């Protein structure tokens, strides 16, 4: 969510903020705002698909600072789009913006586009650090505000809607949260983060007698993620607002200020709504009244008690019950072990596929992972293969359809995709979706591996935590169009080996004698990375291929989660994918094939690379 123009307006006027030293407090954090803020760090390379290890290290540093300041963080993440799907127009506009950013980045221009697996890497990092977090059923703003008010602590976000909520502990914008320059106070143990805290009281005083209860109406009339201005243009054209009023000259801030001054004459929202409706045609009035009142409820207290979740692990949500979401799905979603795409496909039969920095002249990188998504949709929407007696046309009609929003070249388009039909074990009446975890593990694992086109016997030499990424790599090699080049495959596998080498070097297993040759190989690898790259050109076709791999890995992760993890979930933060590294390896393999022997000082790592290569090529 976000109120149009409000962030810029309050930032220009520092009078609405107080200085704050954040320490010895609980802090409710808008997780979606935080991970976007951290992934756009100055050193981040956004063209090559993300450096998730570097991102995870930044997340670790951030929460390390909070711990040093004795701040107890509680992270709240957005979930799905909600059963009413009221933000659909805004999400389509946002997806179009991301497409433009991807196009700019692909040509070497600027742009901000979060790498595809940023959210997954963030959730994994929170779990590994032991930071309490919850993923909501839908938009998280109301639940964030409710929890912060229950505890009387600040909210940390970068969302202007928190200027509208009446927050007892205030709203601290991430843009002024100086966690990277923490300083000691009086004693050696007393650290604090300098921050600025938005004051609703100061904001309302700036506009005369403006009552706080009118702020939700202001947000709705000014325009937020749920409602545009079109319905109220007649009102704005007829009412003379102070400070310039109508849009025209001076832009949105004049209208924004004028609207706030106009609202200050009313004691409560109902009287202001009545006054707005007088300027509209009679046949529009009740529809607009309902629209305004419904939209203002987005700033009302939520019925979800997140304190109960953080204390007892219970996430209870009336909206999810009304949507008939199985309890295990809701509980798993709340723990961050199911993705928002899953809940959107289940209740809306609609998903958005996020664009990457890929070759926009080719089909979307997500096309490669379509068969995996179809199996996900089949599991969620229960399609049976037992239709031998039905005609082909009847079978087609029985398959549920999911609407996917994805790019077609440089345009956002929607495509209707059929769910896959599933083996009989998954269509047994004893195992509806709410009892999916009761399907035998062997059946769930078989469905995952059959979808990826891999037999378990092929994966036996592969460590447990890498079985899923290697199975996905087999799928990518088989299904990608155009076909994966051998040097692209080798670069990807060398990258995975480097991550494994770093993992065992940084965190040696105390039960195994740490091999000296592994340490030597890792130091030589670090020296190699420090060398200046002879050719730093950006290869868009290689980028497209690696984007396809990430799409396959993302959907492989989601299918594995939906099947209750028949394979171990890989750790994205352990250098499983490092975009800058895989692109460099690919460039150097083209000119210097001996780079394939990068880890030759370690016989174990050299053998590991050959095992991966032979497994995938087989």
The per-residue pLDDT for range 370-428, each reduced to its tens digit, is 999 999 999 999 854 444 444 444 444 578 999 999 999 999 999 999 999 988 878 76
Q: Is the pLDDT of residue 434 over 90?
A: no
Handedness of CA 326, 330, 335, 337 (dihedral sign): positive
Question: Is 424 within the bounds of a domain?
Answer: no
Domain stops at, among 272, 299, 326: 299
Question: Is 292 within the bounds of a domain?
Answer: yes
Tell me, what's the pLDDT at 244?
42
CA 381 to chain centre: 24
The per-residue pLDDT for range 498-547, each reduced to its tens digit, is 999 998 888 766 666 557 888 899 999 999 988 877 677 899 999 999 99
Q: Is the pLDDT of residue 477 over 70?
A: yes
Residues 6+ apart with CB under 8 A from 73: 26, 27, 29, 63, 66, 131, 132
Tell me, what's the pLDDT at 185?
58
Q: Burial level of 480, CB count in 10 A (0-12/13-18/19+)? A: buried
Tell me, what's the pLDDT at 361?
96
Rounded to an integer, the average pLDDT of 17-39 is 96
Position of tokens 């407090």? 25
Tell me, what's the pLDDT at 384?
43
When pLDDT is cut at 50, 70 and 90, the band that residue 209 belongs to is confident
The per-residue pLDDT for range 579-603, each reduced to its tens digit, is 999 999 999 999 999 999 999 999 9
Top pLDDT among 284 and 58 is at 58
Q: Three-state SS for 117?
A: coil
The per-residue pLDDT for range 548-584, each reduced to its tens digit, is 999 999 999 999 999 999 999 999 987 899 999 999 9
Rounded to an integer, the average pLDDT of 296-306 is 93
When pLDDT is cut at 50, 70 and 90, the band that residue 248 belongs to is very low
Q: Looking at residue 15, which CATH number applies to its domain?
A: 3.40.50.1010
CA 616 – CA 146 distance, rounded (Å): 50
Q: Is the pLDDT of residue 325 over 90?
A: yes
Tokens standing for 545? 């291929």
The count of other CB atoms within 10 Å of the CB of residue 189 is: 10
Question: Is 535 within the bounds of a domain?
Answer: yes
The per-residue pLDDT for range 492-503, each reduced to its tens digit, is 999 999 999 998
Radius of gyration of the chain, Cα coordinates, nearest whole angstrom: 26
Question: Is 210 within the bounds of a domain?
Answer: yes
Q: For residue 54, give the H/E element and its range.
A: helix 52-68
Rounded to an integer, the average pLDDT of 307-324 is 96
Rounded to an integer, the average pLDDT of 93-121 is 94
Tell me, what's the pLDDT at 188?
55
The per-residue pLDDT for range 62-98, each reduced to its tens digit, is 999 999 999 999 999 999 999 999 899 999 999 999 9
Question: Is 15 within the bounds of a domain?
Answer: yes
Tell me, what's the pLDDT at 612?
97
Tell me, what's the pLDDT at 396?
46
Domain stops at, among 245, 280, 299: 299
Mean pLDDT score across all residues of the chain: 90
Domain stops at, among 299, 330, 360: 299
Question: Is 361 within the bounds of a domain?
Answer: no
Half-sphere exposure of 350 (CA within 13 A, CB side): 14
Top pLDDT among 243 and 355 is at 355
Q: How many residues does the chain have?
A: 618
Tell me, what's the pLDDT at 511?
60
* pTM for the full predicted model: 0.93
Contact 469, 523 (CB under 8 A): no
Structural domain range at position 553: 440-617
Position of tokens 């600072």? 65
Q: Which residues pair with 21 in a beta bridge?
A: 194
> Closest Cα to residue 549, out of 336, 366, 332?
366
Tell me, what's the pLDDT at 390?
40
Contact 64, 73 (CB under 8 A): no
Q: Is the pLDDT of residue 231 over 80?
A: no
> Closest Cα to residue 23, out of 153, 218, 180?
153
Question: Is 500 within the bounds of a domain?
Answer: yes
When pLDDT is cut at 50, 70 and 90, the band that residue 197 belongs to is very high
Phi, psi of 27 (to 5 degrees): -145, 120
The per-residue pLDDT for range 147-191, each reduced to its tens digit, is 999 999 999 999 999 999 999 999 999 999 999 998 665 555 679
Q: Is the pLDDT of residue 104 over 80?
A: yes
> Domain count of the chain?
2
The count of other CB atoms within 10 Å of the CB of residue 238 is: 11
Half-sphere exposure of 1 (CA within 13 A, CB side): 33
Question: Is 368 within the bounds of a domain?
Answer: no
């Amino acid at each position: 969510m976000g109120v149009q123009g409000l962030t810029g307006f309050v930032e220009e006027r520092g009078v609405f903020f107080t200085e704050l030293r954040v320490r010895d407090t609980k802090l409710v954090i808008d997780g979606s705002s935080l991970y976007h803020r951290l992934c756009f760090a100055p050193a981040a390379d956004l063209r090559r698909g993300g450096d998730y290890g570097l991102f995870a290290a930044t997340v670790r540093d951030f929460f390390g600072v909070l711990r040093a300041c004795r701040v107890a963080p509680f992270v709240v993440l957005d979930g799905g789009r909600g059963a009413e799907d009221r933000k659909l127009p805004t999400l389509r506009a946002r997806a179009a913006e991301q497409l433009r950013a991807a196009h700019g980045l692909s040509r070497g221009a600027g742009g901000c586009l979060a790498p595809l697996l940023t959210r997954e890497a963030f959730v994994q990092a929170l779990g590994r650090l032991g930071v309490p977090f919850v993923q909501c059923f839908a938009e998280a703003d109301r639940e964030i505000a409710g929890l912060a008010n229950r505890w009387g602590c600040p909210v940390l976000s970068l969302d202007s809607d928190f200027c509208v909520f009446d927050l007892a502990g205030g709203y601290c914008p991430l843009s002024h949260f100086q966690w990277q320059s923490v300083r000691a106070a009086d004693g050696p143990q007393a650290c604090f983060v300098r921050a600025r805290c938005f004051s609703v009281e100061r904001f309302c005083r700036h506009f005369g007698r403006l009552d706080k209860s009118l702020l939700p109406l202001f947000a709705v009339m000014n325009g937020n993620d749920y409602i545009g201005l079109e319905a109220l243009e007649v009102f704005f054209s007829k009412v003379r607002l102070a400070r310039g009023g109508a849009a025209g000259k001076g832009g949105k801030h004049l209208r924004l200020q004028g609207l706030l001054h106009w609202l200050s004459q009313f004691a409560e929202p109902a009287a202001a709504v009545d006054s707005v409706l007088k300027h509209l045609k009679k046949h529009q009035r009740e529809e607009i009244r309902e629209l305004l009142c419904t939209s203002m409820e987005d700033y009302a207290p939520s019925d979800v008690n997140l304190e109960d979740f953080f204390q007892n692990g219970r996430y209870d949500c009336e909206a999810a019950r009304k949507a008939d979401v199985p309890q295990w799905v809701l509980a798993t979603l709340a723990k961050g072990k199911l993705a928002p795409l899953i809940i959107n496909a289940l209740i809306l039969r609609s998903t958005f596929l996020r664009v990457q920095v890929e070759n926009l002249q080719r089909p979307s990188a997500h096309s490669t992972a379509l068969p995996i998504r179809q199996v996900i949709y089949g599991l969620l929407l229960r399609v049976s293969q037992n239709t031998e007696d039905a005609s082909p046309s009847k079978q087609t009609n029985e398959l549920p359809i999911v609407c996917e929003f994805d790019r077609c070249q440089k345009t956002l388009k929607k495509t209707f995709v059929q769910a896959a039909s599933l083996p009989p074990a998954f269509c047994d009446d004893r195992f509806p979706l709410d009892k999916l975890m009761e399907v035998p593990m062997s059946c769930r694992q078989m469905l995952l591996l059959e979808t990826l086109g891999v037999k378990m016997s092929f994966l036996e030499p592969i460590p447990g935590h890498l079985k899923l990424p290697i199975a996905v790599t087999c799928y990518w090699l088989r299904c990608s169009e155009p076909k994966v080049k051998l040097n692209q495959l080798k670069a990807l596998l060398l990258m995975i080996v480097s991550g494994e080498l770093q993992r065992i070097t940084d965190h040696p297993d105390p039960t195994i004698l740490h091999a000296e040759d592994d340490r030597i190989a890792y130091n030589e690898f670090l020296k190699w990375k420090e060398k200046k790259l002879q050719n730093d050109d950006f290869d868009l076709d290689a980028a497209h291929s690696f984007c396809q791999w990430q799409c396959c890995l993302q959907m492989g992760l989601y299918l594995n989660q939906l099947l209750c993890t028949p394979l171990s979930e890989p750790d994205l933060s352990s250098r499983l994918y490092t975009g800058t590294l895989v692109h460099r390896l690919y460039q150097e393999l083209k000119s210097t094939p001996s780079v394939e022997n990068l880890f030759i000082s370690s016989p174990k790592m050299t053998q590991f690379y050959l095992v991966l290569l032979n497994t995938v090529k087989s």
